[in-house]
Amino acid sequence: MADLDFSHGGNIYDVQGRYRKKIIDFSANINPLGLPGRIKKAIYKNFARILHYPDRRASNITQKIAKYWGIDKENILLGNGSCELIYLIMSTFKPKSMSIPVPTFSEYERAAKSTKTQVQFIKLKEKEDFRLNLSQFNKADVFFLCNPNNPTGNLILPSLRAKRSNLKDRLLRRDFVSPRNDSSKIVIDEAFMDFLPDQKNYTFVWKALRCKKIIVLRSFTKFFALPGLRIGYLVAHKEVIDQLKHNRPPWNTNCLAQLAAELIINDREYLKRTYKLIESQRQFLFEQLAKIGWLKAYPSVTNFLLLKIERVGMTATSLQAILLKKGILIRDCSNFRNLNDKYIRIAVRSHKENLKLITALKKVRWKI
């Protein structure tokens, strides 16, 4: 495997330290609504909980998640963000081979390095709208899929309700993983699935309950705006959960993270406001970007957009530097495998912030 820069977006502390000004962060894909006021108050009110160890079983939030999906709590495992769970899966099953469609979230590859797993990269092609191509697949011990995919923003798996889908049918038959390896797994990372109002047509949560080969990752980071508290979970067959529990460190989710997740997961008003905001502002950004001749935006179902710079000589790094001077941070996507220095990613934020971004982009002057 070639060396890869595994840095991510959202490094706001470093940027603010260097530029010493207020920065609007379009590099991290977090719900622009932030935390509801009542949850902030609950965190302040329960701050004394940090004087005690957290519930190592995360009983309350696990029960809330179980009720949310209508599943058994024994099918759920909490983690210090879904990222910890990626590494837990790899360290538990120690696969010899892995398949990853690229571009995608780089921590799958990084986790593979930690277990010395051989990785096969499956290139998602721009001319095919970054869709999965069945002809490129070889069997592997573990297959990681990000759906919707980061950074492309598209669904790379079809609706489970589609009557006929070769890709869906093959996935459910587990054709992508080694049949002779009992510990082989298909891991579907649904960190951005919450942004789909009809997510129940696409999620593999219920499929994972019955199939020992499928693990679904979910996160409170993106939709529920809890990146700093670090909490996520996975859904899998009970036997798979038992295997993972043996390797999970104790007290891996803190008390305030458990409390915040417990309160926000069933906040229906928050869900409705988020769906309305993201849909309207994503459309606003897409339409405005279309008027900027040197940027191409790709369709997205999430709270971010992948853009391609079509101006000669300009790179993602140079555009990022220009916008930083204007107090705007975008995601340079040149370190995503299978993308080059012409790609950037922007989060969908409030209308006021999105307007500032569009205005700044329209004022960009460039000479070769």
Q: Domain of 202?
A: 37-264
CATH at 188: 3.40.640.10
End-to-end CA distance of the chain: 34
Selection from 90, 58, 106 nearest residue 251 by Cα:
58
**Burial of 218: CB neighbours in 10 Å, binned 0-12, 13-18, 19+:** buried
Going across the sheet that includes 97-102, the strands are 76-79, 232-235, 214-219, 185-189, 142-146, 97-102, 118-123
Residue with tokens 């299978």: 338
CATH at 293: 3.90.1150.10
pLDDT digits (tens, 9 = 90+) for 166-181: 777 777 776 666 666 6
Q: Are 29 and 302 in contact (CB under 8 A)?
A: yes
**Residue 289 shares a structural domain with residue 144:** no
pTM: predicted TM-score of the whole model, two decimal places: 0.94
**Residue 181 shares a structural domain with residue 299:** no
**Residue 57 shares a structural domain with residue 160:** yes
Reduce the DSSP state of residue 86 to 3 states and report it: helix
Cα 242 from Cα 86, distance rounded (Å): 16
Within a domain: residue 7? no
Q: How confident is the model at residue 134 (pLDDT cuts 50, 70, 90)?
A: low
Greatest distance between any 2 Cα atoms in the chain: 60
CA 125 to each of CA 37, 132, 248, 305: distance values in angstroms, whole numbers, following the listed order: 43, 8, 37, 17
Cα 194 from Cα 69, distance rounded (Å): 12
Share of the chain above pLDDT 90, in %: 82
- Quote the Cα angle for 79-81-84, to 5°: 65
Total structural domains in the chain? 2
Q: Enter the tokens of residue 47.
A: 């701050």
Predicted local distance difference test score (pLDDT) of residue 159: 85
Kindly state the average pLDDT of the residues 197-213.
95
Reduce the DSSP state of residue 80 to 3 states and report it: coil
Mean pLDDT score across all residues of the chain: 92
**Residue 274 shares a structural domain with residue 259:** no
Cα 184 from Cα 178, distance rounded (Å): 6
Cα 253 from Cα 230, distance rounded (Å): 7
